[in-house]
Chain A
């Protein structure tokens, strides 16, 4: 795959599900203009799992928020099935890094939330929510409140809730960041299984190289500010995958390869944050 861009040239005959076309976003701060995302282009095919990895402050979440519609003011274009989109819409679902379940709703009520908002009748939405809870392995916990569940279970509820709307593209912004390593690995397996089962087009933001290799078809490495795509790594590990393959030599090679490119960017980020701390 080419460097600097992730536009899909190999599947020119079929329209990508999601196309990010020369997207740029700048913020005006007291210290001047900061370009968070600079001229990023990316094609995602139907059913593909793509991870974006980069140092803190490289604009990963800004890019995610633009695709998800939470930031509507940017340069460039985002196209879903060939149509330009700007702003939130149910065809693009988001799973957030922070705990985002509604504490006053039970697990099943949380999952049924978007269907309720869309006006689906009660019996149908409850049946659909049950199916999704089963999909994420939470059968038996339908009537539990989030406070009664672990962080991993709450995040699975959030994933099921997002899937309830059957989005064309699923965006996940470091969904496992707050979880311990073992839960993170097991949840990764669950996500792989769900993504393969649904053939769900997915875009994941992560800091974790192993996680990116474990889950993805392609990993995009971003530069430290301004955020650009530095390199795209095709992960041609066989599917179905599980966390058990993390011990393999091929897996380790991918991790090393990505870290090699990421290290320089992470060092820049670290230097900048240390300089900022010293200036304070």
Chain B
């Protein structure tokens, strides 16, 4: 008969590794949450136990078109983060390339990154109307500053000797960018892209919630208004799932680009 420990838990969970650490943390968190809620340490109405939240996921699919909301938020975030990445990298390049602009505006961009841009939603509502364009525009604006800042930082920190190597080999300006500047700054740029993605998602869901238009934000607002609190938490879990999906995709893209550079 095998030792009893092997029967209790799979080997990969017993051996310390990042996956088992994540699993154990989540399991512990859910257990504490369940106990606190069931024992009445937290209001069961405001914070229902996980055992009540998970069964409502199926209802969200059948009664609330969770798939449609999820895909809508995913698509809007993808568009906002994509536009933010493109604009942010161009902006970061400009601030790196133009010394005067870099010194004049970098602090401003940093200040904007820290500002609650979501409060500008009425302005965008007036410009674009109550539709997906407003949501994407808000997400884009929020995702721009971190991408700009990290792109500039990445390019600024490329070691000058690497640029000199390119110069001595007679590289054209475009070759310098493609073969040296971009690959050397890629890890830092990706930090900015990840931050931009997070900012875009927060703002997309936030504006969906505020203007009551489509996606997971609207779903969360509707469930909250109907006091379907367990369903609301289940929907929030799906927002987290959206974030995880994006991080996974970004990680794959980064791995691919790092190996291809």
A119 and B241 CA atoms in complex are apart in Å by: 45
Within 8 Å by CB of B180, from A68, A69, A102, A165, lies A102
Interface residues on A, range: 20 to 34
Listed by A's residue number, 21 A-B pairs whose Cβ atoms lie within 8 Å are: A70-B164, A70-B167, A90-B168, A90-B169, A90-B170, A92-B168, A93-B168, A94-B164, A94-B165, A96-B161, A96-B165, A98-B161, A99-B161, A100-B161, A100-B162, A104-B183, A104-B184, A113-B169, A117-B169, A117-B171, A162-B168
Contacts of A104 on B, CB cut-off 8 Å?
183-184, 186, 258, 261
- Chain B residues with CB under 8 Å of chain A are 159, 161-162, 164-171, 175, 179-180, 183-184, 186, 258, 261
Contacts of B183 on A, CB cut-off 8 Å?
102, 104
Q: Which of B161, B175, B180 has the most CB of A within 10 A?
A: B161
Check: A255 CB closer than 8 A to any chain B CB. Answer: no
A38 and B182 CA atoms in complex are apart in Å by: 38
Check: A89 CB closer than 8 A to any chain B CB. Answer: yes
What is the 8 Å Cβ interface bit string for chain A, positions 55-75, against chain B (1 contact, 0 not)? 000000000000011100000
- Chain A residues with CB under 8 Å of chain B are 68-70, 88-90, 92-94, 96, 98-100, 102, 104, 113-114, 116-118, 161-162, 165
Contacts of B171 on A, CB cut-off 8 Å?
117
Contacts of A114 on B, CB cut-off 8 Å?
169
Contacts of B170 on A, CB cut-off 8 Å?
88-90, 117
A66 and B183 CA atoms in complex are apart in Å by: 28
A113 and B180 CA atoms in complex are apart in Å by: 10
Contacts of B165 on A, CB cut-off 8 Å?
94, 96, 100, 102, 161
User: Measured between C-beta atoms, what is the minimum distance from B119 to chain A in Å?
Assistant: 41
User: Measured between C-beta atoms, what is the minimum distance from A39 to chain B in Å?
Assistant: 25
Specify the chain A residue showing the minimal Cβ separation from B180: A102
Task: Decide: A69 near B162, CB < 8 A? Known: A102-B183, A104-B183.
Answer: no
User: Measured between C-beta atoms, what is the minimum distance from B158 to chain A in Å?
Assistant: 11
User: Measured between C-beta atoms, what is the minimum distance from A155 to chain B in Å?
Assistant: 12
Task: Decide: A69 near B161, CB < 8 A? Known: A102-B183, A113-B179, A117-B179.
Answer: no
A165 and B170 CA atoms in complex are apart in Å by: 11
Specify the chain A residue showing the minimal Cβ separation from B260: A104
Contacts of A89 on B, CB cut-off 8 Å?
170
The 7 residue pairs across chains A and B that have the minimum distance between CB atoms? A114-B169, A98-B161, A94-B168, A88-B167, A100-B161, A90-B170, A104-B183
Contacts of B164 on A, CB cut-off 8 Å?
70, 94, 96, 100
Q: Which of B169, B170, B258 has the most CB of A within 10 A?
A: B169
A236 and B183 CA atoms in complex are apart in Å by: 46
Specify the chain A residue showing the minimal Cβ separation from B259: A104
